[in-house]
Structure 1
């Protein structure tokens, strides 16, 4: 072996030791590159058969074995020497040597991958610790002196003499060393074996795990005597020291303190404009396991994003992937997103947020992504081909922003700022549209009109609305039959009912076509209930109670009547207008179930529930329906929906929407 190769081995071993303590996630990634089945807890010697074809695997196994051997020896000698200088107690180097010898022998057995012997190693460790405890504390002799027989006491003293002169030195030296080296090596893998070796020999439990004194007391004690230190420490002092040092060790306080000081200094000397250059100096880059909070980490990322977004994003990715600082990364991303949204001053700023924040995960904050969805809609609006088209497309994001301002008041500054930007921009577009020769198409053909979308485009039908309101408010309201041919505007009229009748009447829109798609009464009733609840909330912002699912599953219509009674009890001062659109589809339900139970239920509602008013809407007259409808629809009041009146048609042509340009000659 040349000097260069020796130094290379030392450097690689040092890097491996560093990864074990400070970069376990990086270590895991590197091990996966060496072998897909290799993890920090894996015994690489179980893969010994692959050593000839995988030199990197063999090199890793050799390095960690030598690390596990050499690190405890070096640290024990170093810390024990310091302990002998600052303490009066003399170190028993003979027993230390015995333990280290046993440790090395145990690691040799570990390379043989003798899995069946692991439980014996653990039992040996427990036996030695228990025996040492009883003999060192004097519990066994005291108990025997008080309660034991003379011959038994003599035998115990003989055994105690043998324990002190032969068993303890061997057990706490070579035997315990073999057990620890083999047991911990097999049980926890090579990477943990290195960490455990360092910890129990002074560096781990002395620095990582809780103080130099405790490191010597355990690191040297287990390798030296297992008598004096344990004898003293088994009292209260040991209990307190053990708990405190273990807690400090688990939390890695002795690494956290210098890291905290380092970040405080870094924060003082780094101006915000230079934050990007300091990102690689943050502690998580050299210590992936920081359990206690360190301030200013998110501040550095946030400041860096303003000057170098790429560096900030890379740091966030590193924090999420290779450290336990996911909360810091999440907090930084959230503040970056909020800052980006709040700094918008022009429409182009709003539209650019979609691209600028594409890298932020959607599950970060639902409210933030409502803003981004609105920004995407605004960008699509400004891609419109004409000023009028842009104005029309802007209506939806403006509505969404107004709704967002009510739903999430904490983001009111951003929503108000965006609304002001859009309103100012819309005025400019309106001026451009007024000066444009384009005649905008404001009509909505095809589907039924919805109030939130169509606005004032719905014209006329005042006679229908007036008749419904007048008759429904009488003591005994009839059943309504809204009749009109297809595409005549029946569904649109029903959609506008909440705006056209008084608040004492609650229109409830039900799409019978949806109900007819079900084949069981349970599903039909559940669909009817859900549609009624949704319509009540849309029409009057009312939240109706939930139906009893068990009752509906046992007897659907009995459960439905029970729910209707509950609704009547909770809202006793209102009347309900149940609008059954395309009611002819009930014939499909009757044909599928071969039963008229549904019609009998509707007939019962008409006769015995005066708080409920039924309106059947369809394209067939009563004489055009199946004969069984005559019993259900007897005494109905027919509302015939025909052509618009002349004045209504003129308004629809000349003034379909507000501020529509006069394009017709008188």
Structure 2
């Protein structure tokens, strides 16, 4: 069943005008009073120039028949209707008309002439308001002696001289303004086309300010006339309160109309509710005052309920209504409905697959004013992303591990929700509780399925750093001890954790709290993320502080917050004051500020986004003058390769992270986690060690592929890895780890280095090429040899060179 098409004038700020002259004129008046956006859009539809305050007559396209129709309705039909309404009201009240017809006739002529002049100089929108709207209000309230005509928002009982005195200066000023604006527009065009000199003559510059002087002079004359009338004319003085009421009508009229609008809207909902489910007909929502009274800013009772009912049964119409309300004073209703729709869609998530997709459909950007709801929806969006990331894990074991960590987070959220009485928190509490049960049940199902199939769970994490929650993190006790010793050095030197990519630097930083005493609190910041992506110093320091807060919270320490607004005027001063508060929060503890990927920040400095002296000077000052802070940089380059850092961070102590110890690598192979079900033959373990040289990433890569291979075998031989299994897994490891090997080839060595590596690789496993042979093949390559040694790709063996890692050699062969 198809939905009916929306009428052209429903849920739009640009409705079509009725073709009848009288009805169209009244519609124009209605738009001006209640729907100013519709009025302005109507003017723009006729001619865009009509919307310009001091429009240029030459811009108007006078062949446009709609333009003549507009002038006819604005300056003849509506003033005549004004005269007719006032006459009718006076007759009903039994007031003698006296000389009213004559004064009204003169007023009608004045309005026509006045509106024409104003329309030429000031714009139709402004002249219409001046020429008619207030006249309808005050023409009714004044007695017979007052004319319907008025000039600037009120009716005046002037003699002809007074009328001319009022209209002439404004008409002259605006007319001159229009003519001069036309002249200077043409002058600017010629200047752009270089048809005239770019230097404007002094007399022309003075001439350009003449219209402004005329308008100021005219405004002064108008003010004097009003003051004179107020003191010498009792009728004007008595009418003055009415004038003020008319000028402020948009302030109090919405309040006066609110009870009547509430009754009207409730009646619409009552009549609409029984038939709203019929998709073949439109609802009555389009007649709701929210869609024709733009001045009403008081929330209209029941609008959200009516809109929600329409959204449930007529989504096309409901979405059109939502789009309209989002740019209106009643946008609260659209936001409330969108929140309820989101809540219902989240509530309908019956399994983990639905939960993982939820963040793709949530609408959060439009809810800036609803801070509580926006925050809650962001929580659900992050939860959905976490579930998606968990289900993207390659093995059922890692999926279960991630889902259990996710369930723990949900328990914390449930505790926070239970302590809040906010209406949105109460609404979303059952949903987050349901999600936790779904995730927990799915993790239990994964465990049952794995056990039933006798599959081997793969605990290995490929390509992403290990977190504190992952049991697989192994060893590095010697590095932890070295870092602890340097942190106790009274000289407080900065530290550099240096090692090749995928050696486990970030994994170590994520888990370093396990290796250090409890009074040292690691605060981890990834400079590859938001800090180095900021566009200015305030953004850099704000993101740095925010990441420090997040990391400290994981360690059980709550740091004071730092807002972006505070940093705008003097970022480094306010950041330094924030560090004072952080030191107070640390009490007797020491903070280890670990800045990972410092090379990314160096690139941002090199591009000019940040000032070298400000940023690096701040780090040096922190190291030298804040004993509660220790700074540890991490990267795959030495400080000597970045001279600007070496000049600021003096006496840097390097902590080298390289291959695992053999015992640590054996544990990673045979007992990566508790209750690991795969067993290895001794020669299979030795082969893994030979192929990887205890490289942490390559050990995990090869062992993960061995598990994939074993899960494809018969259950009778599945849980014992042999030497043949290791050899069979090598091609798959080279393919699945292609991003690691390609990074070496494309980003860590140049063309000469690649040629050298291929030449050595061709010599076979454990092949050695003498230095003399290499220099004959690659003369003047001493610098490249040193770089390959520094990158730990090759090593010196006797008087030659060979690959350090067999798997890397096989990639280059």
Aligned to 2:720: 665
Matched position secondary structure for 2:521:
strand
* Change in CA separation of 1:277 and 1:33 when aligned onto 2, cut-off 3 Å: same
1:313 pairs with 319, 335, 340, which one? Answer: 319
Structure with the larger RCO, 1 or 2 (CA within 8 Å, 6+ apart): 1
2:475 pairs with 455, 460, 470, which one? Answer: 460
Aligned to 2:756: none
Query: How far off is 1:246 after superposition?
Result: 5.4
Query: Within 5 Å, which residues of 2 pair with 1:160-175?
Result: none
Aligned to 1:444: 461
1:33 aligns with 2:45: yes
In 2, the alpha carbon distance for the partners of 1:190 and 1:502 equals 78
Give the number of the structure whose residues are more often helix, by fraction. Answer: 1
1:574 pairs with 560, 573, 589, which one? Answer: 589
In 1, the alpha carbon distance for the partners of 2:271 and 2:100 equals 48
Query: How far off is 1:112 after superposition?
Result: 4.7
Query: Within 5 Å, which residues of 2 pair with 1:330-345?
Result: 330-345=335-350
2:515 pairs with 477, 496, 500, which one? Answer: 500
In 2, the alpha carbon distance for the partners of 1:651 and 1:389 equals 18
* Change in CA separation of 1:21 and 1:448 when aligned onto 2, cut-off 3 Å: closer
* Change in CA separation of 1:42 and 1:59 when aligned onto 2, cut-off 3 Å: farther
1:375 pairs with 384, 389, 399, which one? Answer: 384
C-alpha deviations, 1:271-307, integer Å up to 9, x for none? 4883883323322334343244431111111233233
Aligned to 2:739: none
In 2, the alpha carbon distance for the partners of 1:242 and 1:316 equals 36
1:106 pairs with 100, 107, 110, which one? Answer: 110
In 2, the alpha carbon distance for the partners of 1:311 and 1:191 equals 33
Query: How far off is 1:59 after superposition?
Result: 1.5
C-alpha deviations, 1:475-508, integer Å up to 9, x for none? 9899898998646545533432213333222345
In 2, the alpha carbon distance for the partners of 1:507 and 1:543 equals 13
Contact 1:391/1:426 (CA < 8 Å) preserved in 2? yes
Contact 1:482/1:490 (CA < 8 Å) preserved in 2? no
C-alpha deviations, 1:62-93, integer Å up to 9, x for none? 12222332122111111101221xxxxx43x2
Structure 2: gaps of 5 or more residues: 1-17, 150-154, 160-228, 606-611, 679-717, 722-813
Aligned to 1:95: 99
* Change in CA separation of 1:290 and 1:9 when aligned onto 2, cut-off 3 Å: same
TM-score by length of 2: 0.52
1:656 pairs with 668, 672, 675, which one? Answer: 672
Q: Count the aligned residue pairs.
A: 544
Query: How far off is 1:30 after superposition?
Result: 2.5
1:77 aligns with 2:15: no
* Change in CA separation of 1:7 and 1:485 when aligned onto 2, cut-off 3 Å: closer
1:50 aligns with 2:61: yes
Aligned to 1:201: 139
* Change in CA separation of 1:397 and 1:23 when aligned onto 2, cut-off 3 Å: farther
Contact 1:509/1:532 (CA < 8 Å) preserved in 2? yes
Contact 1:545/1:567 (CA < 8 Å) preserved in 2? no
Contact 2:414/2:429 (CA < 8 Å) preserved in 1? yes
Aligned to 2:199: none
Query: How far off is 1:467 after superposition?
Result: 7.3
Aligned to 1:62: 72
Contact 2:50/2:125 (CA < 8 Å) preserved in 1? no
Query: Within 5 Å, which residues of 2 pair with 1:502-651?
Result: 502-507=517-522, 539=555, 541-543=557-559, 571-576=586-591, 643-644=660-661, 646=663, 648-651=664-667
Aligned to 1:327: 332
* Change in CA separation of 1:101 and 1:658 when aligned onto 2, cut-off 3 Å: farther
2:264 pairs with 262, 277, 295, which one? Answer: 262
TM-score by length of 1: 0.61
Query: Within 5 Å, which residues of 2 pair with 1:201-220?
Result: 201-202=139-140
In 1, the alpha carbon distance for the partners of 2:443 and 2:381 equals 20
Query: How far off is 1:54 after superposition?
Result: 1.0
Structure 1: gaps of 5 or more residues: 1-5, 85-89, 119-183, 206-213
Deviates most, 281-290 or 345-354: 345-354
Contact 1:185/1:193 (CA < 8 Å) preserved in 2? no
- What is the root-mean-square deviation in Å for CA atoms of aligned residues? 6.0
Query: How far off is 1:430 after superposition?
Result: 3.4
In 2, the alpha carbon distance for the partners of 1:49 and 1:584 equals 60
Query: How far off is 1:420 after superposition?
Result: 1.6
1:432 pairs with 449, 452, 459, which one? Answer: 449
In 1, the alpha carbon distance for the partners of 2:661 and 2:105 equals 105
In 1, the alpha carbon distance for the partners of 2:569 and 2:115 equals 64
